[in-house]
Amino acid sequence: MKLLRDVFIAGVGETPFRRHKADFDVLGRMAALEALRQSNIDRPQMIQSAYVGNATNGTVVGQTILKQLGMCGHMPIINVESACSAGGMAVHCAVKDVSTGLVDLALAVGAENHSLYMQRGTAFAPAMSDIETMHGAVMTGKYALRAKRYMHETGATVEDLAMITVKNRRHAKHNPNAWFKGDISIEEVVNSRLVADPLTLQQCCGIADGAGAVVVGSREMMDKLGIAQPIRVRGSVVQSGPYHNQPRDITGDDITESCSAALYELSGIGPKEVDIIELHDAFTIAELLYYECMGLCGKGEGLQFLRDGQSTYGGQCVVSPRGGMLSYGHPIGASGVAQVAACVKQLRNQCDGYQVEPVPRVAMTHVTGGGLSGTEHAACSMHMLSRD
């Protein structure tokens, strides 16, 4: 999406990610109120449009979240569902409203509570009528197949995959919003319960509850609100995955590759200029594949990129400085918005104890959603942000 005018992020909010007894609407309001406060907005009615991402908590979730903030009745509240990409897509829609001049101030929220609705031990199905799903290809199984193939082609070991969990848990050690954090050894990761060979329990993101929120607006609105550190949205891209009725390379990721290329072109920022990335590390193998798909390194070079420490503090690009999904868990509709919130805080030097130094100038977010037979993912949402 070409931005027709400059778009900025005024404020962000997020809740801690973990199991919550508070329902999705309470979590969503908590994140929204924090984003409004950060934006110096004392009247929620100043928001002119709102988009709310959610996947599993029923219908009219946006109205349910925002009604008690007095936001119903005078503005469009539009609900967004795109599996794991829902929150990122909500941000994209809010950016589009401001970019096109439809509004000057928009809100994106992502919220989810699985604990109160989902039976423990069950797995997310990409699509109930999908032929691969009907034969048992849940997401963990799909990523396990990708891991096996990548290990076969590159010589990667399960210990290499475990390094990603170790890295991301270390990144999250001092992050108050992260669920799983702190020191964990490669041996502990490898020896945790096997889920789908070669993926063990500690290589899979937790099914969490939580919410995130982002307020976006025009340059004029940033001045009006007195925002000292507006973060510029340099690009926002949403794509649907191409369909392949034929064998495909599962060590690649077609939608991430095409979405990344579009984002680099639209923003005028290349992969080697990105300082930090929050990506869809639902499983360890995913992060490893995405190094290559996003152009951080060449095809087949992701393993060496990881081993050389290029994806952590002091490397080429700090990947998942908040700890990623492997530390936060993954509330489906919330993750994409929380990624943006985490990147904004890094760009503003607000991450005490886990701040990337020097303070990043450019950040990128990436979240995919839904797998279907013949596609890697049904949707992908990506954003490029910078300190202006």
3-state SS assignment for residue 52: strand
Q: Distance between alpha carbon 216 and the CA centroid of its chain, in Å?
A: 17
User: Is position 380 annotated as part of the catalytic site?
Assistant: no
Residue 339 near residue 365 (C-beta atoms within 8 A): yes
Residue 57 near residue 334 (C-beta atoms within 8 A): no
For 73, 171, 355, the CA distances from 175, given in Å and listed in that order, are: 37, 8, 10
Catalytic residue among 84, 293, 317, 343: 84
H-assigned helices in the chain: 24-38, 61-66, 86-99, 131-134, 139-154, 158-171, 186-191, 219-225, 254-267, 284-293, 302-307, 324-328, 335-347
Tell me the one-letter amino acid at 34: E
110 beta partners: 53, 212
Distance CA 180, CA 326 (A): 8
Residues contacting 353, CB < 8 A, separation 6+ = 173, 174, 175
Distance CA 218, CA 7 (A): 5
For 259, 306, 323, 339, the CA distances from 293, given in Å and listed in that order, are: 10, 14, 20, 19
Long-range pairs of 172-175 with CB within 8 A, sequence gap ≥ 24: 172/322, 172/323, 172/324, 172/327, 172/328, 172/354, 173/353, 173/354, 174/352, 174/353, 174/354, 175/322, 175/323, 175/327, 175/351, 175/353, 175/354
Looking at the annotation, which residues are catalytic?
A: 84
